Amino acid sequence: MTETTTGELPVKRTSSGLIPGNIREYGMYVALFAIMAVFAFTTHGIFISSRNIVNLVNQTGYIAVLAVGMTLVIVIRHIDLSVGYLSGFLGAIAAISMVSWHFPVYAAIPLVLGLGVLAGLLTGFLVAQLKIPAFVATLAGWLGYRGALQLSTRATGTIIIPDETFNAIGNGFIPDPIPHAGFLPNMHLMTLIVGVLGIVIFIVSEILGRRALRDYPSERSPMLRWILKLMLITALVAAVTWILAGYQGLSWTAVVVLIVMLVYQFITSRTVLGRHIYAVGGNPEAAELSGISVKRITYAVFGSMGLLSALSGILFAARLRSATTTAGQLFELDAIAAAFVGGVSAAGGVGKVAGSLIGAFVMTSLSSGMNLMGLDISYQYIVRASVLALAVIFDVATRNRE
């Protein structure tokens, strides 16, 4: 063998220079920024008013937690259509447990979360054990939970939730125990501190992450693009923090979403479970041959989806201070759309929970902005459809390039 044949087998390049290889990751941040800027302009600033941003965050909350769970479901090449009505039904159970069964709030919430896990494991059983396609299994769930929701709210219609602690999850704000002493008198200092802390942690972890890639220059994005990304995200977080602090501060919904996001981010990137979830998504046969139980991973992912559906139901019921007959309607589609907009690939194995969170913000920002503009609801659906279609076209196009 000659030198020319031994030294080759070059790495296939994904980026052609001008278009960054990981544009999928940046695309949605740019999209979110652009959407916010456009709506800020077209609504004469109402869109970025404190009140609206708070509403936006709280509206996104119950979709965002679903989108986080849906990300993992799609990563392992399945889908879950049942989560919307499951969320509505479990919200109703939360209401009934407090109103009719006189459960205290700290018993009602674990009960509902537990039921959510059970419901998720049931889906897991249908998909993993009985090998029913997830689409069909969860379509059955969609119908079943819709029926269950109507049954449970039939007697009274809307069930009003009187418990203020419960309702605070969807409407309340974190306290501000820090004395102002004349400094920034109208600002919510606790929120500012949380925001600054968040930015610092984000930047430090990005720098550490980049340092860890020191020996892998091919895996590093160019310095300039990396700095742009840092600035963009920092600006976004700083702007939202400032706006929230100028109003009533960080809402409990935002806190819940942040915790969910951090926990899932950690599990997917640092733990064996997370690694196995992505392995199953990338190549189920190879995963099985490597001793990974695809069945167990499927149970775990659907179980987590059930848990997050319950959490979504709690957030929504708390926000409305009631359980309604139509709670959860179309949530599943919003969550799926959010995941796809956030860079999850329909082919499986690819997608990050942070992306889906951004995707959820994109979808609710669109609704919120168009509502403020007074756009007819029919057109709103069409616009959202176009954004979803664009996201998937983008996914397929960037994938084919590889």
Partner 1 sequence: MTSAEDRPAVVEMRQIKKNFGAVQALRGVDLTLKKNEVLGLVGDNAAGKSTLMKVLSGAYIPDEGSILIEGEPTSFSSPMDARRQGIEMVYQDYALANNLDVASNVFLGREAVRTAIGPISIMDNRFMEQESKALLNRLKIDITSVRLKVERLSGGQRQAVAIARATAFDAKVIIMDEPTAALSVAAIAKVLDLVSKLKDQGASIILISHRLEDIYQVSDRLIVLRQGRKVSDTPVEGDIHQFRERVVAYMVGARNDFAEGGIS
Q: Which residues bind partner 1 (CB under 8 A)?
A: 1, 5-12, 14, 213, 215-216, 218-219, 267, 270-273, 275-276, 278-279, 281-283, 285-287, 289-292, 349-350, 402
Q: How far is the CB of 297 from partner 1 (least distance, A)?
A: 12
Q: How far is the CB of 282 from partner 1 (least distance, A)?
A: 4
CA distance 75 to 69: 10
Q: How far is the CB of 5 from partner 1 (least distance, A)?
A: 5
Q: How far is the CB of 402 from partner 1 (least distance, A)?
A: 7
- Residue 18 phi, psi (nearest 5): -70, -45
Element (H, E) at 348: none
Q: How far is the CB of 163 from partner 1 (least distance, A)?
A: 31
Q: How far is the CB of 260 from partner 1 (least distance, A)?
A: 16
CA distance 280 to 283: 5
CA distance 52 to 375: 17
Q: How far is the CB of 377 from partner 1 (least distance, A)?
A: 38
Nearest to 86 by CA among 315, 332, 394: 332
Q: Under 8 Å CB-to-CB from 356, ≥6 apart: which residues?
A: 64, 67, 68, 70, 71, 338, 339, 342, 343, 344
Residue with Cβ nearer partner 1 (203 or 286): 286
Nearest to 274 by CA among 25, 72, 66, 64: 72
Q: How far is the CB of 153 from partner 1 (least distance, A)?
A: 36
Residue with Cβ nearer partner 1 (170 or 281): 281
CA distance 64 to 83: 12
Tracing tokens 């109507």 back to the chain, one arrives at 150
25, 66, 161, 335 from 330: Cα distances, Å: 26, 12, 23, 9
CA distance 193 to 344: 32
Residue with Cβ nearer partner 1 (247 or 278): 278
Q: How far is the CB of 119 from partner 1 (least distance, A)?
A: 20
CA distance 45 to 36: 10
Residue with Cβ nearer partner 1 (9 or 397): 9
Residue with Cβ nearer partner 1 (285 or 376): 285
Residue with Cβ nearer partner 1 (224 or 272): 272
As to burial, measured by CB atoms within 10 angstroms (0-12 exposed, 13-18 middle, 19+ buried), residue 23 is middle
As to burial, measured by CB atoms within 10 angstroms (0-12 exposed, 13-18 middle, 19+ buried), residue 199 is middle
Residue with Cβ nearer partner 1 (8 or 376): 8
Residue with Cβ nearer partner 1 (164 or 219): 219
Residue with Cβ nearer partner 1 (281 or 328): 281
